[in-house]
Amino acid sequence: MAGDNKVFSRELVSETVKSLNIADIGNATIGEILLVASALERKTGIPFIRMDQGSPGLPPNRIGIEAEKAALDSGIVSQYPAAAGVAELKEQASRFVKAFIDIDISARSCVPATGGVAASFASFIACTQRVRGKDKVLFIDPGFPIQKSQLKILGIDWISFDIHDFRGEKLRPKLESMMSSGDIAAIVYSNPNNPAWICLEETELRIIGELADRHDAVVMEDMAYFCMDFRQYLGEPYRPPYPPTVARYTGNYIIMLSSSKIFSYAGQRMALACISDSLFDRHYPDLASRYGDSGIFGETFIASILYMITSGCTTSTQFAYAEMLKAACEGRIDFVADTAVYAERAEKMKRIFLDNGFRIVYDMDATRKVGDGFFFTLGYGNMTGGELLKELLYYGVSCISLSTTGSRQDGIRACTSRMREDLYPVLRQRMEWFRQDHPTED
């Protein structure tokens, strides 16, 4: 298939993959791709265009750093953190949700977790154990592969579908058909979406909310890329427009908010599970029977589940997150403007790929062209995602296959976070070589 323009030889890539004991590079995990790219860079000194891991590519927020230093200096870290979280963080989280989503959630229902991964892990447990026989998770894919890995650890069954062909009103009958069995405990999606960067619109979220109420399912809404739909400015506190959320249409929800991307504070592992007050206070006899506690959803979530996983969250980081949320509400941080560079990178990167025969796989929301941001998706000719991933490795570009995210479309996910100005001409040259070596019928 390929010609003579490869940056890395097939033999070298094959040897590297074998040495890392990766069984199938076409279906490799993010971590495995990261290992291959890093190993090839070390062996040759040739830089990769790193589009694999969604790690923040901006400096961490200084307000958070200074607040964390102050907490450390205060001596408070000699004490174990409260299971429910420090009061300052819970209060600022409630304030932040009101300022930027226009939703009322009390401070007691805003629960810190050591990253969004821990928040979803605990949520899966609580949601699938609250009602006997309601023990399956429904994923609106494509999505974050780690969440399905969590269910494998927990032994929880799931079903999923690719939303690509079910946008707008088409979503209702599809969801209804998958929830009619009555065993769906939770519905999971990210918005904006990892990996496709599509955004569910208000009409679609209304459908999800209505069906969640009808079938008593909890919606786990992952907002890791909060307010990062840069097609409109969402960064002014207490002023519309606000990002779309299912919380306007149901009381059965958990919103997950992370500090990793919006404040570039990923290394400190801090997030929030913002549980609706009505769900937080709901009593479930099955939870009371299992844990010997009150059976109140929020109390069980905090004391009998989340605390058993992480024993609370790092105290100093809770103060850092609280101060960043406070500063955002007061207009001292414009996290939307700070992260808009990801959209600029996506626009430049997409142009290079499109100029060289690639296409955007998930190119539309229900009514609008998909925006530019942290991720985008690419297809090329008739290649499967695994084939494209492997071929791009030879040209020094790392990514993941959409097949690993629950997508039924052929293509790969690209991340913009590690792109640098000096790499744009490198990427363009490599993709020109790629196109020369992989001619397609235009």
| First vs last C-alpha separation in the chain | 17
Task: Report yes or no: 225 and 199 within 8 Å, Cβ to Cβ.
Answer: no
For 287, the 3-state DSSP assignment is: helix
Q: How far apart are CA 129 and CA 241, in angstroms?
A: 37
CA angle, 310 then 316 then 318, to 5°:
65
Question: Which CATH fold topology does 62-329 show?
Answer: Aspartate Aminotransferase; domain 2 (3.40.640)
CA angle, 297 then 298 then 299, to 5°:
95
Residue pointed to by tokens 């979406």: 193
With a pLDDT cut of 90, the percent of the chain lying above it is 95
| DSSP string of 69-130, one letter each residue | HHHHHHTGGGSPPPTT--HHHHHHHHHHHHHHH-----GGGEEEESSHHHHHHHHHHHHHHS
The answer as to CATH 3.90.1150.100 being correct for domain 10-58+338-437 is yes
Answering whether pTM is above 0.75, one says yes
Q: Where are the domains of the chain?
A: 10-58+338-437, 62-329
Q: What is the pLDDT tens value at each position of the chain, 442 positions in all?
A: 445 889 999 999 999 999 999 888 888 888 899 999 999 999 999 999 999 988 898 999 999 999 999 999 999 999 999 999 999 999 999 999 999 999 999 999 999 999 999 999 999 999 999 999 999 999 999 999 999 999 999 999 999 999 999 999 999 999 999 999 999 999 999 999 999 999 999 999 999 999 999 999 999 999 999 999 999 999 999 999 999 999 999 999 999 999 999 999 999 999 999 999 999 999 999 999 999 999 999 999 999 999 999 999 999 999 999 999 999 999 999 999 999 999 999 999 999 999 999 999 999 999 999 999 999 999 999 999 999 999 999 999 999 999 999 999 999 999 999 999 999 999 999 999 999 999 987 6
Do domains 10-58+338-437 and 62-329 share one topology? The answer is: no
pLDDT of residue 2: 46
CB under 8 Å to 431, separation ≥6 — which residues?
352, 353, 355, 356, 358, 395, 397
Closest by CA to 253, choosing from 298, 285, 197, is 298
